[in-house]
Amino acid sequence: MRILWTFVNKDKLDAFLPSLVHHEIDHEVQSKNGLPYTQGEATILVDERDYEKARKILMKHRKRRTSSDLM
């Protein structure tokens, strides 16, 4: 497994996970400092063969515009 990204909170992680599931990318979530990922930073790891595809999905996800960006 290869590290894809570390999210600072659960909300940001939960916004991205459905994209990985939709594209059928094997992934794993690990928390930092032994805390459950619901209470702190969480790192997503993806299978080596899916890394490039997952990275493209992540970059597209990070570039999306939210309603606050439009104001």
One pLDDT digit (tens) per residue for the chain, 71 residues:
899 998 888 888 888 899 999 999 999 888 876 656 666 788 899 999 999 999 999 988 877 655 555 44
Q: Is the pTM of this model over 0.75?
A: no
State the fold for domain 2-63: Alpha-Beta Plaits (3.30.70)
Residue 65 CA: distances (Å) to CA of 46, 49, 60, 71: 25, 29, 10, 11
- Residue partners of 42: CB distance under 8 A and separation at least 6: 6, 7, 10, 13, 29, 30, 31, 32
